[in-house]
Structure 1
Amino acid sequence: DGIFIGGLKYISKAGLKQTNGIRPILESYLKNLPNNGFKILMLHQEFSPLFPASQLYLESELPEGFNYVGIGHYHIKQEPKIVKGSTVVYPGSTEFTAYNENEEKEKKGFYFVNVKNGKIKCEFITFSKNRPFLSVDFEEERIQEIVEKLKNDVEKLLDEGRKKPVVIFRGSLKKLELKDLTSFLENIGLDDEKVLHYRFNLSKETEEITHVPIEGIETDIIMNKLKELIKEEELFFVVEEAIKSLQTLENTDEMKKFLKEHPEILDF
């Protein structure tokens, strides 16, 4: 009887107030479709409880009538479930867009969906290659040993055909400055040809053994200024996460792709 595919782009909070949620839009969409046929709906929206700040609940926003509903925006895959007679699937993102310990625990991939005689079977296909994240416990006294080990780990990943890793440094600096560490990394050959992005969760030890955070000092200044300008807490959180995610991307094309996949950033 045919296959019908439709979708709804991300609608911001301001937009949702005007439309009274997404249910009226979806009901209108269904009215224009024949009763028969297989109906696929694609959404890119925040639903509670996956997004605690959201006022949308899929169980109340989704009308009966769709066979399959694929939802993006949430980056961690979920097991398929039935809502209002629809098979609802959150496949998660195919790439790590930012360092997230909960996300890192989950495999990346996609759902292969088979439909036969009206029955839907979803199988998750795991990617063999994900963006690796390397965590380094840094001690200034062991800088040579630690960086050489990191270089070996990075080169092993690249030799295996893996993607360039994101490297997270944790620890403290005493006599060295952050620029000294970054220069050391570049001189040993760990530049942007081998590492996608560095994150330095480091502190600076003073003579009084106090710890002064130096992680991304310039970024912190920018964030503080943005927080002063953006009064709404949720909006600031979206902007902050977007900046962190953009820092992990390799080039302009990846940035364009990211912004296209996350239209909510532009909507704000």
Structure 2
Amino acid sequence: MEALQTAIRSPASISQKPQKCGTNKHGSMELRGYKGKVYVSLTGTRFKLCKSEQDFRAGLGISLIDLTASNIKETDRRLFQINTPFRNFCFTAESEREKEEWIEAFQESIAETLSDYEVAEKIWFNESNRICADCRASQPEWASINLGVVICKKCAGQHRFLGPSLSKVRSLKLDGSIWSNELVELFLEVGNENANSFWAASLPLEEELHMGASPEQRATFHRRKYRERKYRRVLESLHDQEQLNQVETELV
């Protein structure tokens, strides 16, 4: 309880918002100082510049840049700049919306360079923590520390919509400061299997959430599971809802 209370009181150290799954984006943009457009491929923590999409498909590139110690600067409506230790790159996207998508993708890649997998590897030692407690996606990198479940990025986003009073979401990779040895031990001891034996004890097969679910399906499932507590196990020693609510309040 002390480990949980300490973690709950601690703010997220880096990320308040889970990023979208997987940094993998490519497309054409204008590059200042280069005649015509270049084809940009962003994968993981690096991006590649190619003369054309054909060169990209053939594996030919002008340069490959690592985003470690990089940052982003917005300059104009469709312009943005990536500042790296190697050099600065000023791109012009085809639209403002496309610019926003590129910036979000680059931000995720830069955040990935700051990630620490040590906590994740420890918590995944419990096999049930290797799949999301809600949709069963593999290698979930987020957790609701007060609900005791390890979850994927997509489900973490829906947990955010539930509100911090219901689900306090933290990253296994970015919020390293809150993961004390005691909290890690707790998640190893409980694990998603035991947590779901309470939260999803009476979950019907037809209402299970799958990793390919839409945001709307996820929102409905998470509301039913955690806000309405539709699938939870009823504790036999408690005979009315008031008693149950009191115990659950003390737990979280």
TM-score interval (norm. to shorter): under 0.3
Higher strand share: 1
Higher helix share: 2
With normalisation by structure 1, the TM-score equals 0.21
